[in-house]
Chain A
Amino acid sequence: MSENAHSDAKALDLLNELENILESDPLIDEVGFVHPSQFATLKEVAGCAVSSQDVSDHESTNFWIRDHKLGISTQVLLPLYKAAKHAFMAALREYKTSGNLPGKSGDDTLESEVMTHSKALLMLSCDFGTAWNSRKFIVLKKELMPIFMNELLLSALVLSYAPKSERAWSHSFDLKATTSVTKCMKVVTCLVYISHKAVGYQHNFWKMFNSAMDNRERIRASGKNSRGLNSGDEMRSKMNYRAWNHRCWLVSYMTREQVLHQLEKSRNWASLHVADSSCFHYRRRLMLRIYEDFYHTQADHSSGYNFKIYNIWKEELDWNEALIGRYVGREALWLHRRFLSSYWIRHIATDLHSVSCQFEHESSIDIDVGSFIDHELHLLDSCSTIPDDDFEDFQAQAIHSATYILWLTKQIPKSHRIDLQEKLRARDLKRLLNMACPERSSLWNCLVDLNASKIQPSCERIKS
């Protein structure tokens, strides 16, 4: 019994220590769980980098704090978590019962207690829903900008050790959803930073966030928020669907300049991470936004903007083709191409056609669907050679290119279909597909035959 009490007291000490650290350094930007043997190496590394005056008071082997990085020993995780959970639940219960009583005097201390304990708890367990919810409840009652900022920072911090935590993402989302419009823009600005950073694993976040705060002042002064998206970070983490999803959602809040800027900025990252379809999806979202803008603003129905959209699409198509050549057999690239071609054929080329008389002097513009298809066939030909090796990338490339062309036959205007069909027959797609992936031969036969038979009767009719 006394042993239990002793260990409880020890756990409570640990919790106090953690909460003191969290309070004493509000700039902590990364949390990690550390093996006890790592403390020595961490000290060594920091020892030569940091001057001795900075040797912190927390010389214990339970926590490590320096350069705003907080390490928690894996040895104390369990008792610490239990203590944090217990303290949080008790504080929450008390807060809830007091909420029913009149007289607000006691509320503040209870509130701050809930906030302190829930923060400690979230450092240990990122998806603790009750903790997030209680924070949301308290924060939304206050409706104060600095508090919102702090909450965004907390979500960012939690994301540093759990970059895919659903709760942390939705916490920042909820904050945004309930704030008023003017506040909204400010929060959005910060959210852009957070998503930037989460996509970029939280490294330069503090630098960025501080500049975001500065920007906010500037934005307020100038009444604009165009600088909000300006940051020099890199997107480092891979396959973080939530982070990208968050950014896609932000697209609808961006100005036209920001959209164009983002399109430019994400290009380099995308060209280095072709396996990540999310970034291409983000680009599609941006491009659609540009296109929608153009379509809905009648005032912009000028040839100038038309030409701009043409250029954006053309550039993306060329860039996509270069990547397809460099990264053999990457599906995300071919899927991106499908999007580009379908918009190209259905909208860009037709829209431009209606105003094409204005473009006659522009020799660089080619909106003829026929020559577009010829170009795609050329791409198919360049992807059809399969060398003999263990790597299946060339096979994948051949399959992606062949299925892309089959898909394309459905997208183009009827007048071009017969022509394309003829050209495809000469290339013998079925043989190519069966060679690249014999396991699916029945699918290939079915696909190619179905495609041919749809055109065949009309061909015959024409001939007779």
Chain B
Amino acid sequence: MKITALLVMKVSPDGSDPVILANASDVSHFGYFQRSSVKEFVVFVGRTVAKRTPPSQRQSVQHEEYKVHSYNSNGLCAVGFMDDHYPVRSAFSLLNKVLDEYNKSFGDSWRTAQADSTQPWPYLNEALAKFQDPAEADKLLKIQRELDETKIILHKTIDSVLARGEKLDSLVEKSSDLSAASQMFYKQAKKTNQCCTIL
């Protein structure tokens, strides 16, 4: 599995929590009893990273054996959870494509969104399946020239995205995205130093 999840979010400049506009994930490669927690972590980490991606910036966050790629295009932000070795440029050309498609389908309606959308967006699920093979995303790369010019910022840990004084542990504790079960998984994984078992 190369891409675990793709999300589209509205990021407000006032620093409030991003609103999820679309969310597609494939957790079939996780154990049956872990899947719900993995989904929660995708939402939690996605929101955390998107919130800290300034407008018109591209950044990648290394988290265990995953890279979370995030591109904020003037408040509309696409986030992808890819395997570490998914080529970075392919990942961002895919995020570009997702935002283009979103704009095409929904226009500016996202600007007024207040609450997380639970409506599935079929295109995102199709993209999730289609672009598992980075060879497909390579084709996009050839069309999108401008991508080469912007520098992509790399964070080697999720902590380096957080503002000074922020701690992942306390964010996990406060987050309403994570259930008690997921919190337990997080603590357990941290204790045994095997976070990778739960994203």
Contact = CB atoms under 8 A, between A and B. Distances in A.
A201 interface: yes
Contact of B134 (A34, A201, A326): A326
A391 B156 CA distance: 10
Contact of B153 (A33, A274, A328, A390): A390
A327 B179 contact: no
A161 B152 contact: no
Interface stretch (B8-16, B49-57, B79-87, B105-113): B79-87
B2 to A, nearest CB: 6
Given A272-B133, A326-B134, A35 B184 contact: yes
B88 A391 contact: yes
A206 to B, nearest CB: 13
B73 interface: no
A35 B152 contact: no
Contact of A69 (B33, B138, B181): B33
A326 B135 contact: yes
B174 interface: no
A271 B132 CA distance: 11
A35 B2 contact: no
B87 A38 contact: no
B4 to A, nearest CB: 12
Given A238-B65, A272-B132, A330-B85, A32 B34 contact: yes
Interface string B48-70: 00000000000010000100000
Interface stretch (B24-32, B117-125, B164-172): B24-32
A390 B153 CA distance: 6
Interface size class of B (residues with CB under 8 A): 20 to 34
B154 A391 contact: yes
Given A32-B32, A35-B181, A389-B151, A275 B84 contact: yes
A74 B87 contact: no
A108 to B, nearest CB: 35
Residue among A41, A69, A272, A327 having the largest count of chain B Cβ atoms under 10 Å: A272
A37 B179 contact: yes
A391 B134 contact: no
A338 interface: no
Given A236-B1, A238-B65, A30 B179 contact: no
Nearest to A393: B88
A45 B88 CA distance: 35
A203 interface: yes
Nearest to A41: B36
Contacts of B87: 326-328
B180 interface: yes
A370 B134 CA distance: 33
Interface string A184-222: 000000000000000001010000000000000000000
Given A236-B1, A391-B154, A33 B85 contact: no
A74 B184 contact: yes
Given A238-B65, A327-B85, A327-B87, A34 B29 contact: no
Residue among B32, B65, B85, B87 having the largest count of chain A Cβ atoms under 10 Å: B32
A388 B135 CA distance: 24
Contact of B180 (A35, A391, A393): A35
Interface size class of A (residues with CB under 8 A): 20 to 34
Contact of B31 (A30, A37, A45, A393): A30
Given A38-B181, A326-B135, A391-B88, A71 B29 contact: no
A133 interface: no
B85 A71 contact: no
A458 interface: no
Interface in A226-274: 236-238, 271-274
A160 B88 CA distance: 32
Interface string A40-58: 0110010000000000000
Given A327-B87, A390-B153, A391-B88, A32 B31 contact: yes
B155 to A, nearest CB: 9
Contact of A34 (B2, B33, B132): B33
Contact of A71 (B33, B60, B154): B33
A327 B189 CA distance: 30
Contacts of A236: 1, 28-29
B20 to A, nearest CB: 19
B152 A389 contact: yes
Given A37-B179, A328-B87, A30 B184 contact: no
Contacts of B138: 326
Given A32-B33, A34-B33, A37-B180, A275 B85 contact: yes
A274 B84 CA distance: 10
A30 B29 CA distance: 13
Contacts of B181: 34-35, 37-38, 41
A201 B132 contact: no
A345 B153 CA distance: 42
Nearest to A38: B181
A21 to B, nearest CB: 15
Contact of B32 (A69, A271, A272, A330): A69
5 contacts: A32-B33, A42-B33, A160-B31, A236-B1, A326-B135
Interface of A: 30, 32-35, 37-38, 41-42, 45, 69, 71, 74, 160-161, 201, 203, 236-238, 271-275, 326-328, 330, 388-391, 393
Given A35-B181, A391-B60, A391-B152, 6 more contacts: A32-B31, A33-B33, A35-B184, A38-B179, A390-B151, A391-B88
Task: Sort A-B residue pairs by CB-CB distance and give the 3 closest, nearest first.
Answer: A32-B33, A35-B181, A390-B154
